[in-house]
Amino acid sequence: MMSSALALVTDSSACLPAESRRRFDVQVVPILVQIGPGEFRDGVDLEASTLYRALAEGMPVKSAAPTPLEYLDAIERTEAEQVVVITPATEFTWMFRNASLASELASRRVTVIDSRSATAGHALVVLAAMEARDKGGSVDDVVSAAEDAASRVELVGCLETLDFLRASGRVPALALGVASQLGVRPVFRFRDGVAERVGLPRSEDAALTRIVREWRSGGGEEAPRCAVFHAARPEGAAELARRLGGASFTTEFSPAMGIHTGPGVVGVAWLRRPFAELSQ
C-alpha cells in the first residue's frame, strides 16, 4: 500500500519491467482475461503460455478493460493525496474513459493521462512520470513529464500473422485482405493513437530490417531510452536489440495484449527528441 503524497496508477498492458515496478512503487490494475469458463487477472495469475496455448487450440478468449470501480479501488488503495493515472491510447480501449469516471468519484485529486501509445510505448510514458516523481517533482511536474513523453513516443513492430487482428476487427479489411493473400509480415507504426501499416516484408529478416530503418529515421539512435518488446518471441527480440545496438530493456507483451496480436510480435518503442533539441 502506498503512503506517498503522489501515487501513480496504470494497467497491466503497460508491460513495465518488474525492476521498474519495484523501484518506483506503481499501482498496476490488472486487465481481466477470460479463457473458456475461467477468469484470470493479467499480470497476476495468467501466464502468457496459457493464453497462447488456448488461442492455438481455438478456445474462446476475450479481455475486459478495468472498470471504473476497479480504477477507483486502485486509486483509493494508494492513500496518496494526489494520484496520476496513465492509460493506453483512448482510440483502442475504454481505459481512459473508465479511469476518468473513477477520478470523478475519488476522494482525492486525480489526473488521468492518455499515453497516446500502447504496450512498450505506454511503458515509456509511465517511466517518464515515475522518474519525475522520483526526483521530487510536484504533481504538475509529473503530469508535464508524462504528457511530454506521450507527445514524443514512437512504436514500430511487425506481426507474425494477421489472424488475431482480423478476429478483433482492429485493422481495415482491405489491408487484411491484401496482406493475407501475400503471406507477408506487416510492419506497423503506432503514433499519437493511430496505427498505420508502413511495410509488407515477406520474411522476418526483412521485417526486422524495416523496423530498424523506421527507428533510425524516427530519431531512435538519439533517444535516451529504447524498449524492445515481443510476444512469445524472445529470440526475435534479442536479434532486434542486437541490430539496434542494444536496448534499455526488453519486455514481453502482457497476455491481455497478446489476445489481439497472437504470438510472434516483435518491435521497439522510443521517445523522439524534443523539437527544440532537434532544431539546435
- pLDDT tens digits for range 198-239: 988 989 999 999 999 999 999 999 998 999 999 999 999 999
For residues 170 and 92, the answer to whether their CB atoms sit within 8 Å is yes
Query: Alpha-carbon distance 170 to 196, whole Å?
Result: 11
Which pTM value belongs to this model?
0.90
168-189 pLDDT, tens digit each: 555 543 354 555 556 678 899 9
**Contact yes or no for 7/29 (Cβ under 8 A):** no
| pLDDT digits 0-9 by tens, 85-136 | 999 999 989 999 999 999 999 999 999 999 999 999 999 999 999 999 999 9
CA distance 125 to 146: 5
- Rounded CA-CA distance 33/44 in Å is 11
Domains identified in the chain and CATH numbers: 6-151 (3.40.50.10170), 153-278 (3.30.1180.10)
Tell me, what DSSP letter sits at residue 116? S
- What is the residue type of 16? L
What are the beta bridge partners of residue 63?
Answer: 33
Contacts of 17-21 with CB under 8 Å at 24 or more apart are 17/123, 17/249, 17/251, 20/123, 20/127, 20/130, 20/249
Going by C-alpha positions, the residue among 220, 249, 226 that lies closest to residue 23 is 249
Round to whole Å and give the CA distance between 36 and 38: 6
CA distance 56 to 100: 36
